[in-house]
Every structure is written in structure tokens, then in C-alpha cells.
Structure 1
């Protein structure tokens, strides 16, 4: 007669081995590519990509994906050559959340050949944050669908 522990091991092996290969069509289970928490870089990858996409028309001075900081150079809109903007985006978390992105902007206007600091409307900064968040959500939805 076999000891109980050996019988238990054999039963476990008999049940577990056939189930070990079970998955869709013999494929390995796939990782959730659309997880809201992404750790391959220091910050949320969807927010990072969305920020770069949103600011792609502006020249970049600094990008740090581990620290989550994007700094643009001064950008002059060809339609308003007497005004220029500089933007800094900070991604504060690894999760895709509304409070995980912060935008700061500087604005200057040309007066007599000199650039002079001018106020930035709060709505401008809020609009940039909204655009980044919307784009990040779109990227995540596309990853889920794909």
C-alpha cells in the first residue's frame, strides 16, 4: 500500500498536468496590454504618448520618461507672430487618472521688439490637460481593441 502523501501527489499531478496546457487554442495567455498601470517606464505609458502627441507641433527641449517631464521650447504660432508659448507637462503617476497629469504654460507677447511675460488663461492649461487625457484614453481603448 502507498503512503497517503504519495497518493496525494500522484492525484494532484494527474489533475494538474492536463489542465496546465489548457488555454485558447493551445496559446499562452496574453498579458493585458491595456492595463491602466504601466511600469516599463517611470510613468503611465498612455499619458506619456498622449503628451508627446499633443505637443508634437512644438519643439522639445527636454523629455524624461522616468521622471515624467516634457518641456517644450518657445513656440510662435505663425498666425499670431507677436505671441509665444512654452509648455511643461508633468506626469505624476503610473496610473491613467485625471489627476496624474499637470500642465504649466508660459506666455510672452512681443512689445517693441522685446518679449514680455503675459498671463496664461487657466482655460488654456485645462484644455491642454483635457486633450492629453482624452488622447491617453483613446490610446488605451485602441490597445484593448487590438
Structure 2
């Protein structure tokens, strides 16, 4: 026997409509595939695709700091073995949980050996831009892989 059998007919109809409205909110159509790899996927404080891509991009250098909640990665000084008279240090800041170009900030410092010590030298803007492009491209690739 129905749970609504003892209720008057209008009340039965009202309860049935309320129950079906509740169930309709639970079900519905399939979720779009894009939701599976949304641009805002994160279990850390920042976008996980940008975070992973950033760590991969600076994996050549030793890390001084990697704070996934604050979104900051700082490398130690790195000298390329083929050019030991020059060294670089990179700081990457992820500013948002969304996978967007303006959610990423890269800064680099460069020093050259001079007179037995290290002297600050300018970093070409194209170098920083290239590193940003590498990170964004890798982050988008990681997102595409998560969808497939």
C-alpha cells in the first residue's frame, strides 16, 4: 500500500509533486565532460594544473620554498653547467584557483660572476614570458589529459 494512501486526495497530489520535485533536483541529465576537468580543480590553495606545471617547469633547479596553499614556488640559485659564470633564481606565484593566464606571475633574478663574486644582471623580459608560456601550455595539457 502507498505511503500516501491515508491522506486526502489533494494532499496526496501535493506530496507526490513535492517528492518528484526533490528527486528531479537530484537526477537530471548527464554532466558535461568539461566539468570533469574544470579549470578550477584544486585540493590545494591554488589551481592544481598551474601548480603541477610550475613545479615541472622549474624542476631543473633546487627548490627553496614550495607553498601550495599560498601558491608560491621559489628556486635556489641555479647555474647551467655549460655556463657556470651565470646563475638564475625563479619565483612563481599562482594568484587564483582558475586556470587563466593572469593567475600566474613569474619573476626571475640573474647574476653573473665578476671579480670573484656575483653581481646582479638584468633578465630579459622575453625569458620570463617564455617561462610563463611553458607553464601555461603544460597546465592546459594536464587539464586536457584529465578530460580524456
The bucket for the TM-score relative to the shorter chain is 0.7 to 0.9
Please state how far the C-alpha of 1:113 moved relative to its aligned partner: 1.6
Corresponding residue for residue 3 of structure 2? none
Task: List runs of 5+ in structure 1 lacking aligned partners.
Answer: none
Please state how far the C-alpha of 1:40 moved relative to its aligned partner: 1.5
CA distance in 2, matches of 1:68, 1:11: 48
Q: Following superposition of structure 1 onto structure 2, how do residues 80-91 of structure 1 map, counting pairs within 5 Å?
A: 80-91=83-94
Please state how far the C-alpha of 1:7 moved relative to its aligned partner: 2.4
CA distance in 1, matches of 2:11, 2:94: 54
CA distance in 1, matches of 2:139, 2:34: 19
| TM-score scaled by length of structure 2 | 0.83
Please state how far the C-alpha of 1:6 moved relative to its aligned partner: 1.8
Q: Deviations over 1:22-65 (max 9, x none)?
A: 888xxxx9993311012421111100000001011110000111
Query: Which secondary structure state, in structure 2, belongs to the residue aligned with residue 102 of structure 1?
Result: strand
Which stretch shows the higher mean deviation, 32-41 or 122-131? 32-41
CA distance in 2, matches of 1:21, 1:103: 43
Query: Which secondary structure state, in structure 1, belongs to the residue aligned with residue 97 of structure 2?
Result: coil
Task: List runs of 5+ in structure 2 lacking aligned partners.
Answer: 1-6
Select 2:9's aligned residue among 3, 10, 27. 3
Q: Deviations over 1:73-117 (max 9, x none)?
A: 000100101000000000011100011101000000001221110
Select 2:116's aligned residue among 108, 113, 116. 113
**Alignment length, in residue pairs?**
141
